[in-house]
Amino acid sequence: MELIIASANAHKIEEISRLLPKSVSLTSAKEVGITEDIPETADTLEGNALLKARYIYERTGKDCFADDTGLEVTALNGAPGVHSARYATDGHDHEANIDLLLRNLEDKTDRTAQFRTVIALIIDGNEHLFEGIVKGEILHERVGAEGFGYDAIFAAENTNESFAQMELDKKNAISHRGRATAKLIDFICLQ
């Protein structure tokens, strides 16, 4: 089975392709000629995941999926949430995003947070949503050099390390994206 992933993020494609069974061949949007930034203008993760998947489906007519992720911090009423990529600036400036988040948490005692991923799958023209959540807390400073985004300041529940200290397979086993992808795979395998 061939699935197009509506993403240009090499880290994300690598994480997801490691999880998929060999029977699924993953093609990036770029490989099917879609190189422009796909609009993410919805105000929820579900809305953005659907926007991106529909964008690919309308142009290719092929089975595809998209994911959208947010880091939801309790003391900030769920921010940065759907705005996680553009929290500090208009671009995807991960370092500036981390700096802003640490500043906004300086006077807070509750540092609990969760990563939430929503995957929208379009298969044979039908839409399906899958959610994955990992709970944890925001560290006081960056730790570790792996991963991307907010990995260096997020420690998942019951672990003693940040996501940026983990091998990819270990992160995938407990992460928001890993959990949402596991649901996607279960669904695909039943098709």
Sites of contact with ligand IMP (CB under 6 A): 9, 12, 67-69, 71, 84-85, 92, 94, 97, 147-151, 163, 175, 177
Chain residue at closest Cβ approach to ligand IMP: 149
Q: What is the greatest pairwise CA distance in the chain?
A: 50
Q: How far is the CB of 97 from ligand IMP (least distance, A)?
A: 6
Q: How far is the CB of 177 from ligand IMP (least distance, A)?
A: 6
Q: How far is the CB of 60 from ligand IMP (least distance, A)?
A: 20
Is the separation of the CB atoms in 40 and 51 below 8 Å? yes
CB closer to ligand IMP, 125 vs 138: 138
Is the separation of the CB atoms in 57 and 64 below 8 Å? yes
Q: What angle do CA 179, 183, 188 make, to 5 degrees?
A: 140
Q: Which residues participate in catalysis according to the annotation?
A: 68
CB closer to ligand IMP, 90 vs 124: 90
CB closer to ligand IMP, 61 vs 91: 91
Is the separation of the CB atoms in 98 and 152 below 8 Å? yes
In sequence order, the β-bridge partners of residue 13 are none
Alpha helices in the chain (DSSP H): 10-19, 45-60, 94-104, 168-174, 176-189
